[in-house]
Chain A
Amino acid sequence: MSEQIKKFMYINRRAPYGTIYAWESLEVVLIGAAFDQDVSLAFLDDGVFQLVKGQDTAEVDMKNFSPTYQALGDYDVTKLFVEKESLEERGLTLDDLMPLTYEDEDDDWAEKDSIKVVSRAELADIMEEQDVMFSF
């Protein structure tokens, strides 16, 4: 490709259900993944709930789309930053989140973790490096 690859970050700040933001964000990420850009996702504030394991939407009458996060690796979306402080403020740890992995093409298809817990300060630095940010 002649055009320069840009760094795209999708920022997720809201709980998964009750509004359509989380699902819309995920769809945009999957569609955007076709454009071969450098994509990362950030989960902060109530957005960290999007990745919590064992989601059950039977009583809220919305589709449980949490299994779709498992497909991100297939779409070559392999960088999911989760803000440490947001987890802590909600009494959550990495163990409460779905284990999301991808296979590293450049490392003999070794399975690697997609989720990386970073501090608020580290996330601010990562955001500083981005060319484009989408906030959901």
Chain B
Amino acid sequence: MAIEANGKTFETDEEGYLTNLGEWEPAVAEVMAKEDDLELTSEHWEIINFLREYYEEYQIAPAVRVLTKAVGKKLGKEKGNSKYLYALFPYGPGKQACRFAGLPKPTGCI
């Protein structure tokens, strides 16, 4: 599988996650969001960027409950809850946001 963004082709796995996370650029997230009928706002980007930083630091995509806790700590309690995160990413803040961010499927998401 593959997606087209910014005039380039990006290879994805069977679940739509980027095969090579080093290739990621913001246009990839825009295209993936469009396919899911989502318009990315600055609130979405805040979480996507947070996930990329988390991956950079720990080398894993966090499970959704770990993400929720970490967001609460970093961005404030009003954002560190499932209601807020699911409103932004209806297919699951772990799975969907990690995909947009070019990360693998979260470790420990069941």
Contact = CB atoms under 8 A, between A and B. Distances in A.
Interface of A: 27, 30-31, 33-34, 63-65, 67-68, 70-71, 74-75
B99 to A, nearest CB: 19
A70 B63 contact: no
Interface of B: 57-60, 62-63, 65-66, 69-70, 107-110
A27 B69 contact: no
A75 B108 contact: yes
B62 A71 contact: yes
Contact of B66 (A63, A67, A71): A71
Given A31-B108, A33-B108, A34-B110, A75 B63 contact: yes
Q: Is the interface of B mostly helix, strand, loop or mixed?
A: loop
B60 A34 contact: no
Q: Is the interface of A mostly helix, strand, loop or mixed?
A: helix
Contacts of A64: 59
B63 A67 contact: no
A68 B59 contact: yes
A71 B55 CA distance: 10
B59 A74 contact: no
A68 B108 CA distance: 13
A68 B59 CA distance: 6
